[in-house]
A and B are shown apart, each in its own frame.
Chain A
Amino acid sequence: MRGWLRWMWRQLTSMRVALLLLLLLAVVALPGAFFPQRSVDPNAVQQYFLDHPDTAELLDSLHLFDVYSSPWFSAVYLLLFVSLIGCIVPRTWVHLKNLRAEPSRVPSRFTRFEVRGQTRALGTPDEVRERLRVALGRRYRRRLASERGKAADGATRTALTISAERGYGRETGNLVFHLALVGLLVVTAWGQLVHYRGQVVLIEGDTFVNAPLDFDSFDTGSWFGPESQEPFRVRLDSFESEFTVDSQPREFIAGVTLTTTDGSTRTEDIRLNHPLETNDTRVYLTGNGYAPRFTVTDGTGEVAFSGAVPFLPTADPNYTSNGVVMVPDANDGEHQLGFNGVLLPTAAADEEGNLTGSAYPQPFDPAVVLNVWVGDLGLDSGVPQNLYLLDTTDMDQVTTTEDGTESPLQVTLRPGESAELPDGLGTITFEDLPRFAAFDVRHDPSIVWMGVFAGLAFAGLVASLFLPRRRIWVRLVEGTDGATVVSAAALARGDDPGLQRELDRVLAVLDDDRPATTEEDR
């Protein structure tokens, strides 16, 4: 059993399996690019269920809509990281030992190395060695030694040696890179546990408080504590946008006032790429649109509804927006009123005056076109309702009869206009058109650490790929003529096209006097 476990461990930490896992990770990450993901776009997943009802269930049971939290994806990356740790930790110990150790001994024969050098230099071996030592420079860790050997003629001769090694940073960088990846994974997981994110839609003039109840949606990690939520208030003072003539957005600016617990306030602009930063929370601008303000009176003449309702922009660049007005209090709740329809910021009409769409995203000539429903809005059933969708199952559409044909009533209103609803149902008035902005409020203490580990990983990667790891060995023997015979070899890890050049550079310090020596020889 133990042997079997050890075999498993050895397999897992082997490079072959690590490579396999790495490739597998690439493969299992891909489905997330093809199927809509709940974490990215939950509405697209819902749409997929509507469009492909027969396959969606099956795909969902295979976690294809939550690929990155699926058991199979998790299994691959966790195994990969176990494999990585199993490989990196022993290497780290070895490397730490190497960092303290002296460079390796000079090999007995240089002929087995491809990069070699041979020269003669004036002076005693000691002097020559000193010059080479200086020439190697501080980048090299050096070990000076001497060895005794028999020369060809049988006489014992002492040779001085240098072992030099540089580029420990290559392995250090490699280890830092891999350890930083582990760090990145750990802090990401920690961030998932302690973070919170709230989403809120604010209409101009409205304020939200950074507390769970004030958000339209609020997610937290499982270690989230309410004390991590910084107390502050944000008021949306104004929202401005800028578009080109062909409706391309150029600027969105949300002017806000931030109030903190000590009562101090400051005004700021929140733009895309420019979130509002408090002490440890960030507020991002994520969306915007129009929120027409309506007043609805019911059959008794009482004001049953008054307020601004965000209309969600569609894919149309000219901000054709869909929205819903729910009036549960109309007629004492007996005949609740509902309106759904579109808002056109700059209404365009055909020759007969029928509105055809929006011509520009700015509110130059806004109009709303509403269908009218009467009945039960279904709000009291206790089932959470989508505030942007009218549930018409228990409602009847109000119709109008014109030239003997009955057709659904469509109420078209411009700001300031009112319409009388038929059958004494009441009136609806389109008061004015404030804007709304959608914000994400996020606190994630792991972000800073992610940055640190990503930076470390990058620096480590550069070091591990581009710092050369080189060893140079030199043996110096006293020549017969008072000169010193120098032989050298060099070895690098991996490809190192500059190795020969490097050895030549070191030996070149002896060059000045070599011609003289050789001439004396003659």
Chain B
Amino acid sequence: MNSDLGDISTLLIYGAMASYVVAMIAFAVDVSALGIGAPRDRRRRAAGIGMATMWLGAGLQLVAIVVRGLAAGRVPWANMYEFTLMFTFFVVAIFLGLQTRRDVRYLGVGVSMLAFLALMLAVTVLYVEADGVQPALRSYWLVIHVSVATLATGLSGLAAMISVAQLVKARTERAGARGGRAPVTAAATSTATAEVTSGATADLGPGATATAVAETTTPKQPRATFGSRIIEALPPSANMERLAYRLNAVGFVAWTFTLVAGAIWAEHAWGRPWGWDPKETWTFVIWVIYAAYLHARVTTGWAAEKFAYFALVGFMAVLANFYIVNIFFSGKHSYAGL
């Protein structure tokens, strides 16, 4: 009966993966429509389909996770397969949550692709039967420590994706600013000022700023390519940077919680709160990278792109901590592996 439930959970995961593929295609269609010059205020039917299938996928995945927990008779985040289910769910869920408050559909392709690829890797390589856990994992700290770790991974992942979009956008913005400065005409100067103002009043909301940039930048780009039209439709990089920062700030708090809860658990289980186990070391390094990111952002006058690189390095360390450390390093966290 239990293995039946486990199979149902796996089937549901296949369903969620299929939904994410459909969503990815729909979002890609939406984006490429921009690329071939569709007006930005058109009815975005493809994006609508994308969002609907994302919701469907998230719903299927949630049910799959719950069923998996029932099949195993414990919380469903005790091995790498289940950890992947959880963090991809969080990436998708946070994306959907953000979308209810602001337009983040530009992230749709990335989010659905990340969710699909991570789940693909999970079902092909990391899959294990739903089963009980070994004594070392029998603790209520499993519920607390690991669930928050999956949330933190989800937050860092989504933030990293926004950072990538921000970096792409910032490059064209800089190129645009340079291009605008070269011909010293009144029009170019006014464009530049308008852009500065639009950045400054970004607090008014993404919709308002997006139109402000649209009005000012469209006339000065005579040869719009497929890629440039898409990039142009992205929100201003400053807005994306701010959104990534907020996600990373919450993510940092979640990492801190993971670290503290892990130390308490380690004290209970292994008789020491901290022992420089490879997993602990990597988590510490991740924590330090994000701490540096927050410090840099709050106190230095650096350009916004530099923070984005910090956040990306941080997320790469998160991925390494999960995929590389769990599989190739032996340590006290090894049971979390395959």
Contact = CB atoms under 8 A, between A and B. Distances in A.
A454 B257 CA distance: 9
Contact of B135 (A68, A197, A273, A275): A273
A461 B269 contact: no
Contacts of A244: 131-132
A99 interface: no
Interface in A30-74: 30, 32-33, 37, 39-40, 67-68
A19 B134 contact: no
Contacts of A188: 274
Contacts of A252: 135
A458 B256 contact: yes
Interface stretch (A368-376, A384-392, A495-503): A495-503
A256 to B, nearest CB: 16
A26 B289 contact: yes
A236 to B, nearest CB: 17
Contacts of A197: 271
B277 to A, nearest CB: 6
A396 interface: no
B185 interface: no
A495 B253 CA distance: 17
Interface in B290-311: 291-292, 294-296, 298-300
Given A30-B281, A272-B136, A458-B257, A23 B288 contact: yes
Contact of A39 (B242, B268, B276): B276
A461 B256 contact: yes
Contacts of A67: 276
Contacts of B267: 447
Interface string B304-338: 00000000000000000000010001010000000
Contacts of A68: 276
A187 to B, nearest CB: 11
Interface string B250-277: 0011001100100111011111111111
- Among A33, A68, A251, chain B packs the most CB atoms within 10 A around the CB of A33
Nearest to B272: A442
Interface residues of B, number: 52
A18 B295 contact: yes
A412 to B, nearest CB: 31
Contacts of B277: 40
Interface in A453-481: 454-455, 457-458, 461-462, 465-466
Contacts of A500: 203
A22 B295 contact: yes
A450 B264 CA distance: 10
A94 to B, nearest CB: 15
Contacts of B135: 249-252, 271-273
B125 to A, nearest CB: 20
B138 A33 contact: no
B295 A15 contact: yes
A18 B136 CA distance: 38
A39 B325 CA distance: 19
Given A22-B288, A494-B298, A495-B242, A273 B273 contact: no
Contact of A29 (B134, B252, B288): B288
Contacts of B46: none
Interface in B83-139: 131-132, 134-136, 138-139
A427 interface: no
Nearest to A37: B276
A114 interface: yes
Contacts of A37: 276
Nearest to B245: A495
B285 A26 contact: yes
A514 interface: no
B273 A33 contact: no
A499 B263 CA distance: 37
Interface string A161-181: 000000000000000000000
A461 B253 CA distance: 7
A307 interface: no
Interface string A9-34: 00000011011001101100110110
Contacts of B263: 450, 454
A149 interface: no
B2 to A, nearest CB: 12
A442 B300 contact: no
A68 B272 CA distance: 15
**Interface residue tally on A, bucketed by range:** 35 or more
A465 B263 CA distance: 23
A203 to B, nearest CB: 21
B267 to A, nearest CB: 6
A15 B268 contact: no
Contact of B295 (A19, A455, A494): A19
A494 B242 CA distance: 10
A114 B288 contact: no
Contact of B276 (A32, A114, A248, A272): A32
B249 interface: yes
B299 A33 contact: no
Given A447-B273, A458-B257, A114 B136 contact: no
B282 A15 contact: no
Contact of B252 (A15, A39, A465, A499): A465
Interface in B128-156: 131-132, 134-136, 138-139, 141
B329 to A, nearest CB: 7
A114 B272 CA distance: 51
A273 B203 contact: no
A458 B300 CA distance: 24
B59 interface: no
Given A32-B281, A249-B135, A465-B249, A15 B299 contact: yes
A116 to B, nearest CB: 12
A282 interface: yes
A15 B288 contact: no
Given A32-B281, A244-B131, A252-B135, A19 B276 contact: no
B36 interface: no
Given A29-B288, A33-B325, A19 B300 contact: yes
Interface string A258-275: 000000000000011111
Nearest to B132: A250
B181 interface: no
9 contacts: A30-B285, A40-B277, A248-B132, A250-B135, A273-B265, A284-B270, A450-B273, A457-B256, A461-B253
Interface of B: 131-132, 134-136, 138-139, 141, 200-201, 203, 242, 245-246, 249, 252-253, 256-257, 260, 263-265, 267-278, 281-282, 284-285, 288-289, 291-292, 294-296, 298-300, 325, 329, 331
Interface of A: 15-16, 18-19, 22-23, 25-26, 29-30, 32-33, 37, 39-40, 67-68, 114-115, 188, 197, 244, 248-252, 271-275, 282, 284, 286, 440, 442, 447, 450-451, 454-455, 457-458, 461-462, 465-466, 494-495, 497, 499-500
Q: Which 10 A-B pairs have the closest CB atoms?
A: A273-B139, A26-B288, A284-B271, A33-B281, A272-B135, A33-B278, A22-B292, A26-B285, A15-B299, A454-B260
